[in-house]
């Protein structure tokens, strides 16, 4: 029923668009997503907060598309009230480790990512705020410190002695880093399924889903790339023209490992054994590797 309502909205707003077939895209909490005619992606914000953010997305993407060498969502269908919209599908494989290992010229991919991050992080912050973007405390050091204090009881009652030592040391190192970084507008969710790769041509086809874009630490947008290897991260950073500081990559590595902590925490809270075990497995691995020594 809901899908028919969304389809009717598209038909009412864009009568010239003949809908032959459609597919529901299940990903994402913030938007309902439809693939129309295997050609267009339509996104419908699920609530008022997401709607406000969607309107901000439209504003910044319009500006970024003028200067980006990588394809970004270019909304050619925008409803009169700017309550939903559609853009031409950007094709490509998710940027997983498997895909990464197939690439012949990782240097070029690193330069592409550096270009995107440079134009995004150098976007005028005043203009970003005017468009409706704001800082999200969950993604900065102050927010992480408060979060850790709230989660201590769960960590200490769930993890082994060695795991607790690992988690505590991990947070101590991060909190000791210089928090006086230059705040930027950042993607906020730069992970495998939001980076689309053309393996055959050895290039990034596009970057999508700006639903978590916010103002904060630029290092967070580098976090996912530690999934691959340090050398690749260094190549991106070398070509990156955004604001840098001496602890930039240390914070980026911290953000990367935060997902393991989140998995353990939410596994307990939601009584999700699979998620808990995934988090514990990662933490055990990090403990055995004494990973925090590599952060210093």
pLDDT tens per residue across span 142-197: 777 888 898 988 888 888 888 888 888 888 887 887 667 899 999 998 999 999 99
**pTM exceeds 0.85:** yes
Which tens digits make up the pLDDT trace of 241-280? 999 998 899 889 888 888 788 888 888 888 888 888 888 8
- The answer, yes or no, to whether residue 140 has pLDDT greater than 70, is no
- The answer, yes or no, to whether residue 67 has pLDDT greater than 90, is yes
- The answer, yes or no, to whether residue 9 has pLDDT greater than 70, is yes
- The answer, yes or no, to whether residue 236 has pLDDT greater than 70, is yes
Domains along the sequence of the chain with CATH: 2-88 (3.30.200.20), 93-295 (3.90.1200.10)
What would the DSSP string read from start to end of the chain? Answer: -HHHHHHHHHHHH-TTS----EEEE---SSEEEEEETTTEEEEEESSHHHHHHHHHHHHHHHHHTTT-SSB---EEEE-TTSS-EEEEPPP-EE--HHHHHH-S-HHHHHHHHHHHHHHHHTS-HHHHHHTT--B-GGGSHHHHHHHHHHHHHHHHHHS-HHHHHHHHHHHHHHHHS---PPPEEE-S---GGGEEEETTTTEEEEE---TT-EEE-GGGGGGGGGGT-HHHHHHHHHH--S---TTHHHHHHHHHHHHHHHHHHHHHHTT-HHHHHHHHHHHHHHHHHTGGGGG-
What was the pLDDT predicted at 1?
47
Which tens digits make up the pLDDT trace of 191-217? 999 999 999 999 999 999 999 999 999
- The answer, yes or no, to whether residue 102 has pLDDT greater than 90, is yes
Average pLDDT for 10-32: 89
Which tens digits make up the pLDDT trace of 40-64? 999 999 999 899 999 999 999 999 9
């Amino acid at each position: 029923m809901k899908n028919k309502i969304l389809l009717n909205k598209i038909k009412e707003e864009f009568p010239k668009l003949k809908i032959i077939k459609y597919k529901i895209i299940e990903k994402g909490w913030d938007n309902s997503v439809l693939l129309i005619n295997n050609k267009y992606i339509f996104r419908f914000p699920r609530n008022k907060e997401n709607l406000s953010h969607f309107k901000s997305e439209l504003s910044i993407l319009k500006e970024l598309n003028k200067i980006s060498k990588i394809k970004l969502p270019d909304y050619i269908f925008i409803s009169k009230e700017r309550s939903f919209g559609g853009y031409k599908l950007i094709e490509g494989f998710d940027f997983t480790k498997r895909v990464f290992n197939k690439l012949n010229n990782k240097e070029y991919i690193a330069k592409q990512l550096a270009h995107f991050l440079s134009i995004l992080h150098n976007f005028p912050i005043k203009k970003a705020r005017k468009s409706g973007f704001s800082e999200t405390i969950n993604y900065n050091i102050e927010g992480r410190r408060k979060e850790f204090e709230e989660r201590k009881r769960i960590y200490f009652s769930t993890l082994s002695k060695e795991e607790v030592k690992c988690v505590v040391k991990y947070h101590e190192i991060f909190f000791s880093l210089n928090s006086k970084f230059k705040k930027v507008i950042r993607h906020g969710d730069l992970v495998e399924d939001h980076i689309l790769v053309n393996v055959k041509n050895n290039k990034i086809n596009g970057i999508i889903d700006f639903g978590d874009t916010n103002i904060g630490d630029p290092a967070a947008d580098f976090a996912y790339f530690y999934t691959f290897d340090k050398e690749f991260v260094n190549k991106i950073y070398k070509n990156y023209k955004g604001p840098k500081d001496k602890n930039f990559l240390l914070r980026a590595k911290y953000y990367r490992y935060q997902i393991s902590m989140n998995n353990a925490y939410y596994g307990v809270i939601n009584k999700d054994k699979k998620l808990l075990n995934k988090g514990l497995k990662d933490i055990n691995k990090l403990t055995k590797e004494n990973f925090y020594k590599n952060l210093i």
